[in-house]
Amino acid sequence: MEHSPAEAVQTPAPRREAVDVAIIGAGPSGAVAAALLRKAGHSVLVLERQHFPRFSIGESLLPQSMAYLEEAGMLQAVVEAGFQYKNGAHFAWRDRTSSFDFRDKHSPGWGTTYQVERAKFDEVLIGCAAQQGAEVRFGHTVLAMRTGAAPMLEVADESEARYEVHARFVLDASGFGRVLPRLLNLEAPTRQPTRTAIFSHVRDGLPLDAFDRNKICVATHPEHRDVWFWMIPLAGGRSSVGCVAEAAFLDVPEAEREARLRELIREEPTLNRLIGDAPFLMPVRQISGYSANVASLHGAGYALLGNAGEFLDPVFSSGVTIALRSAHLAVEVLKRALAGETVDWSAEYDVPLRKGIDTFRAFVDRWYTGELQDIIYYPQQAPSIRRMISSVLAGYAWDESNPFVADPVRRLNVLHQACTQ
Q: What is the pLDDT of residues 248-264, one digit of tens each?
A: 999 899 999 999 999 99
What per-residue confidence (pLDDT) applies to 85?
97
Residue 318: inside a domain: yes
| Domain-terminating residue out of 230, 254, 288 | 288
| Domain-terminating residue out of 245, 263, 288 | 288
CATH of the domain at 282: 3.30.9.100
- The whole-angstrom separation of Cα 349 and Cα 330 is 6
Residue 2: inside a domain: no
Residue 98: inside a domain: no
Q: Quote the domain boundaries for residue 408.
A: 369-420
> In this structure, are 76 and 36 located in the same domain?
yes
- pLDDT (mean) for 72-79: 98
Residue 8 pLDDT grade (very low, low, confident, very high; cuts 50, 70, 90) = low
Residue 6: inside a domain: no
> In this structure, are 81 and 172 located in the same domain?
yes
> In this structure, are 65 and 22 located in the same domain?
yes
Decide if pLDDT at 48 tops 90. yes
* Closest CA relative to residue 238, chosen from 276, 279, 266, 268: 279
> In this structure, are 222 and 271 located in the same domain?
yes
CB atoms within 10 A of CB 162: 14
What per-residue confidence (pLDDT) applies to 7?
53
Q: DSSP for 60-86?
A: B--THHHHHHHHTT-HHHHHTTTPEEE
DSSP 208: T
Residue 205 pLDDT grade (very low, low, confident, very high; cuts 50, 70, 90) = confident
The chain-wide mean pLDDT, for the chain, equals 94
**Per-residue model confidence as pLDDT tens digits over 94-142:** 999 999 999 999 999 999 999 999 999 999 999 999 999 999 999 999 9
> In this structure, are 244 and 381 located in the same domain?
no
Decide if pLDDT at 5 tops 60. no
> In this structure, are 139 and 241 located in the same domain?
no
